[in-house]
Amino acid sequence: MIISKTPFRISFVGGGTDLRKYYKNDYGQVLSSAIDKYVYVVVKRQIGIVEYKYRVNWSKVEFKNKIQDIEHPIVKEVLKKFKIDFPIEITTFADIPAGTGLGSSSSFAVGLINAVSALKGERMTKHELAEMGAKIEVDILKRNMGKQDHYPAAFGGMNKISFYKDESVKIEPVLVSKASYDRLFDNLIMLFTKQKRDASTILKSQDQKTKDNIEILTEMRDLVPDLEASMRKKKSMELFGKILDRNWELKKLLTGSISNKAINRYYDIGKKNGAIGGKLLGAGGGGFLLFYAPKKKRAQVVNSLHELFHLPIKIDNEGSRISYYDNSLNN
């Protein structure tokens, strides 16, 4: 039996420039971080008398004898990629529900690839994990999404991620002191809006409008180096919040479905009570709202939005890993 543990991510600025329609004309760039909330994937060979070759436990339980009959699209494609022709059971569970803006499907894809490759004795590099995850979701399943989410899931840490016309991806860790990371995460507040959404629908609308939004997306991309620089000096950390705020104002211009009256109200309340800036995580439409607020104002912001669930977060520096491996059960 093998268990993989893969982090979710928060994306700060540049989202949307990882869509192919944008970076095929100019490079895309985002700044994001893996966080200490995870999806777990358990894979094991079935032994003894096996009635069904493939057992998949997710929001439903599937019993199938052919890969092509499996309903979960990512599971189906990963098993096809690795040519799994022996009885196998796959179970997944997570700290946070899907559809909340933290890149859950990408984290699951990376975690499943990591676990299945380990089961077959084919350990992969972090770049290979991310690349295969993106290929499955974007190219094979044709999902309306960019490529950014798979990389923080695989690599962990806080990174500047660049996307180029030739489909290459460059990962650059944000090199600041541990004190700077601690100070940043001490000032971040993540609140669940209690609204779940279909990211694919929102991203489809955004993707269709990419050509009309080139100038907006380019300004969002160009906030990346400014945000990175703001972390290097204690006195400029408040600039981090102001840049998030600017990014959020730009993001809302991309398509009308990114925000709504309730989210706008939450955001306004947060700012009135001490938050410098923030954004809705993920594609938009619901999920988690992220604020940057000075540590002394954190309690005031959280209390002003007491109707929302506050989820404390820290950075994850490891990325997807195998947290349990028992080779005796894989023979």
| Structural domains of the chain in order of their starting residue, each with its CATH number | 2-175+316-329 (3.30.230.10), 178-310 (3.30.70.890)
Contacts of 309 (CB under 8 A, 6+ apart): 191, 192, 194
Identify the segments of the chain with pLDDT beneath 50.
331
How far is 284 from 305, CA to CA, in rounded Å?
Answer: 19
Q: What is the pLDDT of residue 331?
A: 47
How far is 11 from 150, CA to CA, in rounded Å?
Answer: 12
* Residue whose C-alpha is closest to residue 163's, from 22, 283, 319, 7: 22
40's tokens: 């777990």
- pTM, two decimals, is 0.93
CB of 111 closer than 8 Å to CB of 6: yes
* Residue whose C-alpha is closest to residue 156's, from 199, 103, 79: 103
Q: What is the pLDDT of residue 249?
A: 95
CA 215 to chain centre: 25
Q: What is the pLDDT of residue 281?
A: 92
The phi, psi pair for 34, rounded to 5°, reads: -75, 150
Count Cα neighbours of 210 within 13 Å in the Cβ-side half-sphere: 20
CB of 154 closer than 8 Å to CB of 126: yes
Sign of the dihedral through C-alpha 304, 274, 241, 234: negative
| β-pair type (88-94, 54-57) | parallel
Q: What is the pLDDT of residue 31?
A: 97
